[in-house]
Amino acid sequence: MRRSWPLTDRAVPVVAWRILILLTAVFAEAWNIKNMLQSGEPPTEHFAYFTVQSNLFVIALMAWMLLVPEWRRPRWFDHVRGAITAYIVLTGLVYAVLLAEPDEVWAWSIEFTNAAQHRFIPWMVGLDWLLVPTARRISLGAAAWWMAYPVGYLVAAWLRGGLVDGWFPYPFLDPAVHGGCVGLAWPTGQVLIAFVIGIFVVAGVGRLRYRESRRGAAAVDPPGLADTAP
C-alpha cells in the first residue's frame, strides 16, 4: 500500500506552521496599527495598501484553515487559498523588485513590520502551498479569475487618486511620477505581467501538488461517508 503524503491539513507540523504564520501576521499588523495611530496616518491610506490587504487576507485564510476542517470547506476553497497565496508571494516579489531601495532588499536593518509583511509571511505562506497539497485539482482556467482582485485594486486606486483625493498608494500608480497616464503603461504593465505569471505559477504548482487520495474524498464528504461511497 502506497504511503500517503505526511503533510496533510491536520498534521501537527502543518497546524503548528499555520499558527506561526497567523501569529506573525497578526502581530505585524497590530504593530502597524499602533504606528498608524501614533503617526496620525489616515486609516483610509494605511488599509489601502495592497501589502496590508494581502496580509489581512492571510490572517483570514490561516484562521479559516485552523478552525474549519477540510471536509466542511466549500468546493471553491482551494482557489481562495491559491489566490491569497499568489497575492502575498507577489507582494514580496514586487516590493523587492520595484519598491525597495537597493540597500533594503537584503538588509536586516528594516523595521519588523516591513520584514514580516514583505519577507517572512510571503515565503511562509508560499512554503505552506508548496508542501500541503490541495484537496481538489486546481483548474488553470478558473485560476485566471484570481486576477480579478489585483485588476480591481488597480482600477480603484486610479479612481481614488484621480477623482477623490489625489493620493496613490504606490509610485508606479501615480501619473505625476511618470509624466502622465501614458507613462504609467510600462511600470503598471510590469506589475500586471508579474501577477499574471505569478498567479499561473502558483496555480500550476497547486495543480501538480494535488494528490488523489482519501484526503480528497474526505474534503468532499464528512468523515464516515467517504467509506460508504460506491
Model pLDDT for residues 169-191, shown as the tens digit of each residue: 998 888 888 888 888 888 888 88
> Where is pLDDT greater, at 113 or 228?
113
Tell me: pLDDT of 228 over 70: no
- Residues in contact with 23: Cβ distance below 8 Å, sequence separation at least 6, in sequence order: none
Res 92 pLDDT > 60: yes
Q: What is the pLDDT of residue 7?
A: 82
Q: How far apart are CA 106 and CA 213, in angstroms?
A: 41
Q: Calculate what percentage of the chain has a pLDDT beyond 90.
A: 59
**Spatial distance between the Cα atoms of 173 and 186, rounded to a whole number of angstroms:** 11
| More confidently predicted of 220 and 102 | 102
pLDDT, residue 115, reads: 87
Q: Report yes or no: 32 and 83 within 8 Å, Cβ to Cβ.
A: no
pLDDT above 50: residue 221: no
Q: Is the pLDDT confidence value at 70 over 80? A: yes
Q: Cα 221 vs. chain centroid, distance in angstroms?
A: 27
> What confidence tier does 103 reach under pLDDT thresholds 50, 70, 90?
low
State pLDDT tens for residues 11-60: 999 999 999 999 999 999 999 999 999 999 999 999 999 999 999 999 99
User: What per-residue confidence (pLDDT) applies to 167?
Assistant: 93
